[in-house]
Amino acid sequence: MGMRCIRLLHSYKVAVEFLVTLFLLLLRFDGCQASSSSSPTTTTHRCVEEERRALLQLRDSFNFPNGHALSYWVGDDCCKWKGVECDLFSSTSRVISIDISYERQSEQGTWYPNATLFTEFKQLQTLDLSGNKISGWINVQALCQLHNLKELWVGGNNLGDDGLPWCLGRSLPFLEEVSLWGNNRGPSGIF
């Protein structure tokens, strides 16, 4: 009978510790929400307004002249948009990943994105533009300003040897992977 009481007390203690820990985590999470809402450019786990506007400019460029891709990019919180991931563990909720692979409609023809559209994303780590009929860039050197970029996916496009700037290998210290499969690249690399 004594061992049974000890086991029950131990089970009770474990349950109480779990509930206290859960309660403290909930309080901490609520505190994070309250403190982040004081910033003028962000709200509780919502994207930065400048980045939301930049995404909408990217969508407009992507759809030129008559496309309708990314039509689900609506609303105030771009962190909830398909293909967009934000760092919800920081106080700024900055965009860290953009995946718009295989979204451009074939009838739109080739796309020449303005690389400066991506420079608004100060914490961007992953950019996937695979399969979107990219044949070149406007202001390609701007890609070298994405200092936090770890992964760049531009496979399945129509980029030639001058499709990416030479500065990528020198200017992006965190760059770990560049996917160029299915492009018209010659034997000279970019690095």
For residue range 46-76, list pLDDT tens digits in order: 889 999 999 999 999 999 888 889 999 999 9
- Please state the pTM of the whole predicted model: 0.73
Token pair listed for 100: 């718009």
- pLDDT digit string, tens, across residues 76-125: 999 999 999 999 888 889 999 999 999 998 888 899 999 999 999 999 99
Give the residue from 64, 157, 73 showing the smallest Cα distance to 108. Answer: 64
- Answer whether the bond into residue 187 is a cis peptide, omega within 30°: no
Residues 52, 1: Cα–Cα separation, whole Å: 64
CATH placement of domain 43-179: 3.80.10.10
Question: How confident is the model at residue 139, as a pLDDT?
Answer: 93
- pLDDT digit string, tens, across residues 123-168: 999 999 999 999 999 999 999 999 999 999 999 999 987 788 888 8
34 Cβ neighbours under 8 A, 6+ residues apart: none
Q: Which helix (H) or strand (E) holds 4?
A: helix 2-36
Question: How confident is the model at residue 7, as a pLDDT?
Answer: 53
Question: How confident is the model at residue 91, as a pLDDT?
Answer: 80
**Between residues 130 and 36, which one has the greater pLDDT?**
130
Q: DSSP letters of 131-178? A: TS-B---BSGGGGGG-TT--EEE-TTS---TTSS-TTHHHH-TT--EE
Give the residue extent of every domain in the chain.
1-36, 43-179
Question: How confident is the model at residue 189, as a pLDDT?
Answer: 47
**Of the ranges 32-46, 83-97, 173-187, which is most confident?**
83-97
Question: How confident is the model at residue 16, as a pLDDT?
Answer: 45
Q: Band the pLDDT of 32: cuts 50, 70, 90.
A: very low
> Terminus-to-terminus CA distance in the chain, angstroms?
74
Residues 160, 105: Cα–Cα separation, whole Å: 21
Spacing of C-alpha 16 from chain mean position: 39
Is 91 in a helix, a strand, or coil? Answer: coil
